């Protein structure tokens, strides 16, 4: 009797394990317009890490420096620039994601370096609620130089302008 019961229980468990868990997931419908809605702000808890990690290798291959404005997060790609705002004080800081962490079981969104935590003013508390805004990357371009903007008018020589500037009292 026990052997038959074990065989039946084993076959039930095996059949349950063979079922694809995605078959039970609801079907996702596509939104109209095929436009991706990007989340522009995140709300979560921030912690900080400092001296205990000083000099250790980070996920980006560099050494951790607690005096730099860096962050660790699983939610953003490495190299992402973020503005982190302390909800309690309103202070904000711009950091770069250079490492992975904190552990998911801690229910924290981001780990900041000690310098970033000091700027936000929560080093003593250890944790604080924050808003996180990804800063979009942008490239700057040098302006075109237009020599006509700084040249002397056609009817005057540059020497005349200089002489007038020195002759006029202030």
Does the predicted TM-score (pTM) go above 0.85?
A: no
Q: Which two tokens stand for residue 88?
A: 């309690």
C-alpha gyration radius of the chain: 30
Q: Which helix (H) or strand (E) holds 34?
A: none
Q: Read off the tokens for 2.
A: 């026990």
Taking 80 as the threshold, does the pLDDT of residue 26 lie above it? no
User: Residue 104: pLDDT band by 50, 70, 90 thresholds?
Assistant: confident
Cis peptide before 82 (omega within 30 of 0): no
DSSP β-bridge partners for residue 44: 130
The pLDDT score that the predictor gives to residue 7 is 72
pLDDT classification of 29: cutoffs 50, 70, 90: very low
Strands 110-113 and 70-72: antiparallel
Domain ranges of the chain: 42-134
Architecture of the domain delimited by 42-134:
Beta Barrel (2.40)
| Dist. CA 50–CA 67, nearest whole Å | 8
């Amino acid at each position: 009797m026990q052997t038959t019961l074990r065989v039946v229980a084993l076959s039930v468990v095996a059949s349950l394990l063979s079922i694809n868990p995605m078959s039970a997931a609801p079907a996702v419908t596509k939104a109209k317009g095929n436009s991706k809605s990007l989340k522009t702000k995140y709300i979560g808890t921030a912690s900080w890490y400092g001296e205990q990690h000083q000099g250790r290798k980070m996920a980006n291959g560099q050494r951790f420096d607690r005096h730099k404005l860096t962050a660790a997060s699983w939610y953003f790609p490495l190299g992402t620039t973020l503005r982190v705002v302390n909800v309690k004080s309103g202070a904000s800081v711009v950091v770069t994601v250079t490492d992975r962490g904190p552990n998911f079981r801690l229910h924290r969104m981001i780990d900041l370096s000690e310098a970033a935590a000091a700027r936000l003013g929560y080093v003593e508390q250890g944790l604080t609620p924050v808003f996180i805004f990804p800063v979009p990357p942008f490239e700057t371009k040098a302006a075109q130089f237009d020599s006509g903007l700084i040249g002397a008018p056609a009817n005057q020589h540059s020497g005349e302008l200089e002489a007038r500037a020195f002759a006029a009292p202030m």
